[in-house]
Every structure is written in C-alpha cells, then in structure tokens.
C-alpha cells in the first residue's frame, strides 16, 4: 500500500515523492488497522465492504480504459515477449490458486443463505465472471504496456511495462492519483473483514472458558492488536518479493484448502459412483503433485532471487 500512496502522491504532481521508511509506514498502518479490528459487529462495516467492491470495479474499468488508449496510441507491446515464461510459469499455479482461496467460505455462506435453491447457480455465475476477469485483465494490460524489464542492456528493456502494481504503469495524472486513492481506501476497509475469521478462531481457542467482562474484552483487543502487528511485520519482511510469497502460499496452503481437502471429503462422504470416486482421486493426485512441484519451484526461485539480489519489485517511483 505504501507504493500506492507514494505513487498517488507522485502522480498528483509532486515529482520528488520518495518512499517512506517501510517500518514507519507499518507503524502508521498499525495505528489505522487496530481500532478497525476492535470492532466486534462486522455488520457495522458491511457498507464499507460494499464501498470497497465498488472501488475495485471502478479501478478495473479505469485501468482497462487506459490500457485500450495505450494500445490505440502505441500498438501492442508484446512482440519481444515469449508465449510462455519458462522460468516463472509454475509460480502462476500457486498465484492463481491463491486468487480463489475464498472458496473455503462457499459452504458456510450456503448455510446462511435464504435462497438455497439458486445459490449454486449464482455461485457458478460468480466464479465464471471472476475467471473471465482474471484472464482478460492481465492479457489486456500486458498487451498494452509490455512486461517490465529494468535492465537497460536487455533487448526487452521496458521501464514502463507491467509491474507488481499495474497502477505503476499508468500516466502521471490527477485522475490516476484518484484511482490509486480509491484502491487505498478499499485496502483500509477490507482488512478488518479479511482478518476477522482468524481473530474469531484464535479467540474461541484462547478465551473460550473465560467469563465475559472487561478482562476478556481487553485481552481480546490485545490478541487482535498482536494479530495486526504480526501481519504487518510479515508484510514488511517479504516487502520486495510479494509475488514469490503469494505464489508459495497459494501452492502450499491454498491448494489443499481449495482442491485436495474438498475432494477427500467428497470421496469419503458423498461419492457413490465409480466415476465420482475416480474424479475425486484424480483431483487428489494431480493437485497434490501441483502443490509439491509448485511449492519447491517457488521456494527455489525465491532463494535464487535473494542470493542474486534480483528483487524484481523493489521499484523506483515513475518519473515525470
């Protein structure tokens, strides 16, 4: 989020915007997030979640509009790019699974849904829509700006290409600064909702037998503050290699959550025909292979980039 803040500041016309110390920025995030995470009634933040969804939609629309304008002015920027990135393509598996880690909430949401008859039909529509967006959006952006390459001696040198944050490729304009500000607000409001399930699990385990009262209330607040601090420290540690972290986390943790465990549960409890059992077994075996292979590959790429110092996303602020 710090890159978004500084990029927003730079695009608004301040050419000398510099990144702050990441630890100072982490302390600022801690001061903002802790009071929000102390809110017990998530219904009070429902409107902010809706606001965040609207901001995401607007940001996606605006970025794609700028991408189409760039194609119209400069043409496609993929003539020197390979069809498949043979070095990092396994990381895409983990990253893609990470994008669908919310699938673990499908059944709990179903239990709370009033119209259960149409729930899975709506769910299919939602998944298909998200899949199309995940495919179309990066293809449009990469075709418009090309792939980021900061090596000036490389034949594929492109300092304006797609970076970890696609907003870094947008032109320095006030309107772009507003787009980045909208996305920052979404990140602020969505964090308490995302971290709430983890807080509830920890609190039910640690304070389940403790009687209600001020002591439990403030111990719960302390637990939530420590959780915020832990997530912020983790983010600062992997600051420069967020892409590697998400790839490994997706392969190692989200693959079992989204594919392997549901297939095992279905095989044990629901599968009746041989075809259903064969399909479950196919998912279990293939996804286990993907989990192991992509995790090892991701950790290897992460280690090599640390050893060589090639931290791709330690990027400068785009100049005017």
DSSP letter string over 202-233?
HHHHHSTTSPSSHHHHHHHHHHHHHHHHHHHH
Contact present, 56 and 186 (Cβ < 8 Å)? yes
Distance CA 186, CA 222 (A): 25
Distance CA 308, CA 238 (A): 16
The tokens describing 196, both together, are 């709430």
Distance CA 177, CA 13 (A): 9
Q: How far is CA 265 from the centre of its chain?
A: 27
CB atoms closer than 10 angstroms to residue 243? 19
Q: What is the pLDDT of residue 8?
A: 47
Query: What is the pTM (predicted TM-score) of this model?
Result: 0.67
Q: What is the pLDDT of residues 228-269, one digit of tens each?
A: 999 888 888 877 777 788 888 888 888 888 888 888 988 988
Contact present, 199 and 37 (Cβ < 8 Å)? yes
- Tokens 């969804």 correspond to what residue? 53
Q: What is the pLDDT of residue 195?
A: 84
Sign of the dihedral defined by the CA atoms of residues 158, 159, 160, 165, in that order: positive
Per-residue pLDDT of the chain (320 residues; tens, 9 = 90+): 545 444 444 444 444 445 557 778 788 888 988 998 888 877 677 677 777 778 778 888 888 888 888 888 877 777 766 777 776 677 777 777 877 766 666 776 777 778 888 888 988 898 888 888 888 888 888 888 777 666 555 555 566 667 667 777 777 777 777 777 777 777 787 888 778 878 888 888 888 888 888 888 899 999 999 999 998 888 888 777 777 888 888 888 888 888 888 889 889 888 888 898 999 999 999 999 988 988 888 888 888 777 776 555 443 333 33
Q: How far is CA 78 from the centre of its chain?
A: 25
End-to-end CA distance of the chain: 21
Contact present, 161 and 150 (Cβ < 8 Å)? no
Q: What is the pLDDT of residue 269?
A: 86
Distance CA 260, CA 245 (A): 21
Angle at 185 between CA 180 and CA 191, to 5 degrees: 125
Q: Helix (H, G, I), strand (E, B), or coil: what is residue 64?
A: helix
Q: What is the pLDDT of residues 198-207, one digit of tens each?
A: 888 888 888 8
Which residues, listed in sequence order, are joined to residue 147 by a DSSP beta bridge? Answer: 162
150 exposure class (CB count in 10 Å sphere: 0-12, 13-18, 19+)? middle
């Amino acid at each position: 989020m710090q890159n978004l803040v500084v990029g927003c500041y730079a695009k608004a016309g301040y050419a000398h915007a510099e990144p702050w110390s990441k630890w100072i920025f982490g302390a600022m995030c801690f001061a903002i997030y802790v009071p929000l995470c102390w809110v017990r009634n998530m219904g009070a933040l429902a409107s902010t979640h809706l606001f965040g969804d609207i901001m995401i939609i607007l940001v996606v629309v605006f970025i794609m509009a700028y991408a189409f304008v760039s194609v119209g002015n400069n043409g496609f920027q993929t003539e020197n790019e390979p069809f498949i990135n043979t070095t990092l393509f396994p990381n895409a598996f983990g990253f893609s699974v990470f994008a669908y880690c919310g699938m673990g909430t499908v059944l709990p949401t179903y239990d709370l849904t009033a119209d259960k008859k149409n729930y899975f039909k709506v769910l299919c529509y939602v998944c298909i829509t998200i899949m199309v967006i995940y495919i179309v959006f990066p293809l449009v952006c990469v075709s418009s700006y090309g792939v980021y390459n900061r090596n000036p001696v490389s034949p594929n040198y492109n300092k304006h290409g797609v970076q970890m944050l696609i907003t870094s490729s947008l032109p320095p304009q006030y309107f772009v600064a507003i787009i980045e500000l909208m996305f920052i607000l979404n990140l602020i409001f969505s964090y308490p909702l995302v971290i709430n399930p983890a807080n509830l699990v920890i609190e039910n385990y640690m304070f389940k037998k403790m009687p209600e009262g001020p002591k439990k209330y403030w111990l719960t607040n302390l637990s939530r503050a420590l959780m915020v601090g832990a997530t912020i420290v983790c983010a600062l540690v992997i600051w420069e290699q967020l892409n590697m972290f998400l790839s490994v986390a997706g392969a190692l943790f989200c693959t079992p959550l989204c594919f392997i465990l549901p297939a095992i549960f279905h095989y044990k409890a629901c599968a009746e025909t041989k075809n259903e059992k064969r399909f479950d077994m196919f998912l279990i075996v293939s996804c286990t292979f993907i989990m192991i292979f992509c995790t090892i590959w991701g950790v290897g790429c992460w280690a090599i980039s640390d050893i060589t110092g090639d931290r791709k996303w330690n990027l400068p602020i785009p100049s005017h």
